[in-house]
Homo-oligomer: A and B are copies of this chain.
């Protein structure tokens, strides 16, 4: 379609292909040609964000662009991969929504720049607003952080803070629109923990990014690794201002179940915790122990039924 080409050239023309970016032929041909680094594994993932399902339809365009890329890059972070390239599939309802698209593109490109990710292709189609982002990164074989390596005795630790994304969404749904509010910033502009993923290579025995909530994503590590866990809910590093905003009970529920934080949850042998903390401290990111891997399946330490304390965003009104 003609307008596809116009939209792409207007807002999504990447920098000219350059050897430094590993791009030998960019947007404008049938395919983009990339030069992967010899000897590395190519880590790939795709995530689609649908308006009204994954983010509120009235969310600021700059945040929609940022988040769509952030959630995909977060998968690379969880793998310990270095971000290299991305492709974007944009489905847009309006025929030509220039101002919205400009802000959307700004959010997307700023995160590309901040993370060293080159936008190397994509398409624009007409339909309900949705953004699919395919990301590609690189990681040396044997250094990838999988979900299956957790062993009994490992500590469980999380980067940064928890519950802020869910808390920000709750505030948004209550009508808060000050996008400078720390919790709203947390929800609208999550930061994929790519540096942390790289720093934890060789230290973490398993990793996942927290997109669906600590307990849900911990469950994936436990399932893949064939182990169980003991959590210490009091140890959770809840986001600043979360308890004040939501009250103690909902704040804890947000930390356990809320999702949208895009922090990393890792398992690692106890003797490696100090070094992991030092490496992350170098760029100002805390690493907090929240539990321990156990042999017996299941999760202990969390009150039964606690998951009913939090309702995930499904589009629509206030939970």
Q: How far is the CB of A140 from chain B (nearest CB, A)?
A: 11
Do A34 and B42 form a contact, CB below 8 Å, given A91-B130, A146-B29? Answer: yes
In contact, B31 and A45 (Cβ under 8 angstroms): yes
Do A48 and B123 form a contact, CB below 8 Å, given A30-B208, A42-B33? Answer: yes
A147 adjacent to chain B (CB < 8 Å): yes
Chain B's closest residue to A127 (CB) is B50
Do A46 and B134 form a contact, CB below 8 Å, given A35-B41, A41-B33, A146-B25? Answer: yes
Indicate the member of A25, A30, A54, A123 with the most B CB atoms within 10 Å: A30
Hey, which chain B residues are within 8 Å of A190, CB to CB? Answer: none
In contact, B48 and A91 (Cβ under 8 angstroms): yes
Hey, which chain B residues are within 8 Å of A103, CB to CB? Answer: none
A309 adjacent to chain B (CB < 8 Å): no
For window 40-72 of chain A, which residues contact chain B by CB distance below 8 Å? 41-48, 50, 52-54
Hey, which chain B residues are within 8 Å of A45, CB to CB? Answer: 30-32, 87, 121
A175 to B42, CA, bound (A): 46
In contact, A30 and B147 (Cβ under 8 angstroms): yes
In contact, B53 and A125 (Cβ under 8 angstroms): yes
In contact, B41 and A34 (Cβ under 8 angstroms): yes
In contact, B81 and A31 (Cβ under 8 angstroms): yes
For window 160-184 of chain A, which residues contact chain B by CB distance below 8 Å? none
In contact, B126 and A127 (Cβ under 8 angstroms): no
Q: By the criterion of a CB under 8 Å from any partner CB, how many residues of chain A are at the interface?
A: 60
Hey, which chain B residues are within 8 Å of A44, CB to CB? Answer: 31-32, 34, 85, 87, 120-121, 134, 136
For window 221-260 of chain A, which residues contact chain B by CB distance below 8 Å? 224
Q: Contact check: which of B42, B50, B78, B122 meets A91 at CB < 8 Å? A: B50
A275 adjacent to chain B (CB < 8 Å): no
Do A132 and B34 form a contact, CB below 8 Å, given A29-B79, A53-B126, A146-B25? Answer: no
A291 to B121, CA, bound (A): 31
In contact, B78 and A30 (Cβ under 8 angstroms): yes
A148 to B142, CA, bound (A): 40
Query: Which 5 pairs of residues, A with B, have the shortest CB-CB distance?
Result: A30-B78, A31-B43, A50-B127, A128-B128, A34-B42
In the assembled complex, 21 residue pairs joining A and B whose CB atoms fall closer than 8 Å, in A order, are: A25-B146, A28-B147, A29-B148, A29-B224, A30-B79, A30-B208, A30-B209, A33-B41, A33-B42, A33-B43, A34-B44, A35-B42, A38-B38, A46-B88, A46-B123, A48-B91, A50-B91, A53-B126, A53-B127, A87-B134, A130-B130
